Amino acid sequence: MSLKLSCLAILAAVAVTTAPTPAQAKFELVERKIKVGNRERSYRAYIPDRVRAGRETSVIFAFHPALGSGKGFVDQANLHRASGAEDFIIVYPEGFRRTWNGGDCCGPAQRRKIDDLGFVKAMFQDLENFGPISKSRNFAAGFSNGWVMSQQVACQMPDRFRAIAGGGAVKQDLSGCGRGSAVSIFIMHGLEDTIAPYQGGKSSLNKTGRGAELPSVAQMANFWKGANNCGSKSSSSRLPGASCESFKGCSGGAEVTVCAVPNMGHWWPGHGGGRKGEKTFGPSRGDLNGAGAAISFFRSKL
């Protein structure tokens, strides 16, 4: 598959319907515009009361899928509504032309070499206007192109990020990753995802059948297990309703957990899709609590 088609394989997942969610924690919603170089960027953040009280707080960046938006991902991911979310500032940034430059992917952001790492650094700095921000215990969650971006910050900014969570994509270029502090990885990926197939191979978006195949989720997980020098494997209940295994004994107390989600296509677990969405992206699992699983994972790494 060509690089162009490989990028397109991550450009799916649009909002269709929103699954029921737990009661929302108390946050102040702020919408910010900041300059990154000569370009104006924007994000929305949910600021918990603890920040206003002057307590150092960790940040979760929630990166939307390509062709999505930060505003849309608020209701797709629902991270700020999960139990325990009040321990974090939760940020939903807007990509460049609805895409992220994850290094090897995707769309206009990657082709234009948009400095999305610079955007993340600028958001850290801007958030300090609200209160003290952790220097090393921060997190990223993302879906599809947003999951590629989450891995990009883990690769390029490991001293600032403690863990990442997401799925729906396989980052192909992991060169330069795993050279700093160990970063915990939590993968939640649908077994019926045909856009980024769990077992690897041709994406359903590759209509010609030509070009290189996508690597598998296992290959991506194996990289992170090796990068973090992980040890023994055990079954895990990180995401009830999925088949999960965890690798622990990793450097710096890190962990790599992989959850294969049955009867789910190209979706964030917990985002329920209607008929139109499921026709394109496969079955959804609105009954799952991906947000709660991600927040629980991050809280375990504080």
pLDDT at 132: 96
Superfamily of domain 3-299 in CATH is: Alpha/Beta hydrolase fold, catalytic domain (3.40.50.1820)
| pLDDT tens profile 276-289 | 999 999 999 999 99
Q: 213: pLDDT confidence band, cut at 50, 70 and 90?
A: confident
Share of the chain above pLDDT 90, in %: 81
Domain edges within the chain: 3-299
**Does the pLDDT at position 11 exceed 80?**
no
**Average pLDDT of the residues in 10-31:** 54
Q: Return d(Cα 29, Cα 47) in angstroms, integer.
A: 6
Q: 53: pLDDT confidence band, cut at 50, 70 and 90?
A: confident
**Average pLDDT of the residues in 198-215:** 82
**Does the pLDDT at position 16 exceed 60?**
no
pLDDT at 70: 97
**Does the pLDDT at position 3 exceed 60?**
no
**Does the pLDDT at position 128 exceed 90?**
yes
Q: Return d(Cα 61, Cα 242) in angstroms, integer.
A: 24
**Does the pLDDT at position 41 exceed 50?**
yes
User: In the predicted model, what is the mean pLDDT of the chain?
Assistant: 90
Phi-psi map region of 252: left, alpha, beta (phi>0 left; psi -120 to 50 alpha): left
Q: Three-state DSSP class for 293? A: helix
Q: 159: pLDDT confidence band, cut at 50, 70 and 90?
A: very high
Phi and psi, residue 105, nearest 5° = -170, 145
Q: 209: pLDDT confidence band, cut at 50, 70 and 90?
A: low
- Per the listing, tokens 């206009």 go with 108
pLDDT at 274: 87
Q: ω into residue 106 within 30 of 0, thus cis?
A: yes
Q: 211: pLDDT confidence band, cut at 50, 70 and 90?
A: low
Which of 154-158, 191-195, 211-215, 236-240 is least confident? 211-215
Q: Output the CA angle 267-269-272, nearest 5 degrees.
A: 70
Cβ atoms of residues 17 and 273 within 8 Å: yes
**Does the pLDDT at position 238 exceed 60?**
yes
- Per the listing, tokens 């077994």 go with 191
| pLDDT tens profile 164-196 | 999 999 998 998 888 888 999 999 999 999 999
Give the pairing type, strands 184-190 and 161-167.
Answer: parallel
Q: 210: pLDDT confidence band, cut at 50, 70 and 90?
A: low
pLDDT at 2: 39
| pLDDT tens profile 76-124 | 999 999 999 999 999 999 999 999 999 999 999 999 999 999 999 999 9
pLDDT at 235: 94
**Does the pLDDT at position 13 exceed 60?**
no
**Average pLDDT of the residues in 199-214:** 81
